[in-house]
Structure 1
């Protein structure tokens, strides 16, 4: 089987243990568990940050309150969201990075993107809609060095093929209150675009 075969690539990522020592040294002292959720032909690419603790436990992306909020933002129900023929979910790190001593999320290890992302993007091919969730994804995929607010506020410059979103964490609830244009202006356009591409 060719190493360019998507099924082989998914199996390679699931077997990855590059960060085993790194994760063992975190406050959570957990083992790697790559969460792989993509298939060539997907119509929407969700490029996020990294799995959280709940996703690490479930083995399924966005099985947490952030996922509930993200599905609402996209206008997708769970069946549509988890249909790999429609939606690919490719975070900046496939494994939960762990917590530090203050129980704050650690950032996604760069080695994950450096090792896997170009191969995953090649396997996915052209995806009509890319949704970049959070600052880490903005910087990696767009090469921007602006803050999240400035990057998301410029969403019209990249639509309809790319939309930039903040992370859907509860920690950003205050951000949403301060930036009502996000829900009033961006989300209706995004939801319509999502429906257009998944039913095309």
Structure 2
């Protein structure tokens, strides 16, 4: 299947629409040339409304961690963004509901296979962790992120950049001191190699 056909099929997907409170609106960023993959959870309400991935406070912090401006972040030839669930799942008791379970089995393997140039996969949150690092799904977030060197430089597990994680970031200052600079350097190196 060609890239355009695949993107069209994903964009028109309604497989779990009956379970979605606001209907289906898949939000992805995809181009086979991408060198960095961001594997997140699922779009939030604001992203559902705009159709732009990470168009919220989480995205602002994530771009800071990556050392990227909006132009580079939203350049699909550089950055692919494939959440575990492509549509807003709705609100739960303590934040958004988990990504719908239908999405990843339906689309993920085919989309990942169509990204042959990925040099770094950034894994955000426990659902992406369970898929991309299945042998670590029993690990608490802090332990997983502390062991980041074990997966580096191909994969980097991160805490979710949501403001909900401000307390975690305050309790774990080593993350922004030790991990974020390495991430920024790697991102620049990967994208510069592409540009060169």
Is the TM value for this pair above 0.5?
A: yes
Specify every segment of 5 or more residues in structure 1 that has no aligned partner in the other structure, as ranges: 24-28
Q: Which residue of the partner structure matches residue 53 of structure 1?
A: 45
CA offset digits 1:15-67 (Å, max 9, x no partner): 111111111xxxxx211100121100101111111100000000110000000
Distance (whole Å) between structure 2 residues aligned to residue 194 and residue 35 of structure 1? 23
Matched, 1:19 2:16: yes
Mapping for residues 130-169 of structure 1, pairs under 5 Å: 130-143=121-134, 144-145=136-137, 146-169=139-162
Structure 1 length-normalised TM: 0.93
SS in 1 for 2:83: coil
* SS class of match (1:40): coil
Q: What is the root-mean-square deviation in Å for CA atoms of aligned residues?
A: 1.0
Q: Unaligned stretches of 5+ in structure 2? A: none
Displacement, 1:103? 6.8
CA distance in 1, matches of 2:51, 2:57: 15
**Shift of residue 167, structure 1, vs aligned partner:** 0.5
Q: Does 1:8 align with 2:1?
A: no
Q: Secondary structure at the match of 2:129?
A: helix
Distance in 2 of aligned mates of 1:124 and 1:177? 35
Q: In structure 2, the residue corresponding to 1:33 is in which secondary structure?
A: coil
In the alignment, does 2:22 pair up with 1:30?
A: yes
Deviations 1:160-185 (A, max 9, x none): 12111010111100000111110010
Q: Distance in 1 between matches of 2:102 and 2:30?
A: 19
> 1:116 & 1:138 partners in 2: Cα distance?
17
1:197 is aligned to 2:193: no
1:39-78 equivalences under 5 Å are: 39-78=31-70
Shift of 1:126: 3.7
**Counterpart residue number, 2:91:** 99
- Residue 117 of structure 1 aligns with which residue? 108
Moved over 3 A (4+): none
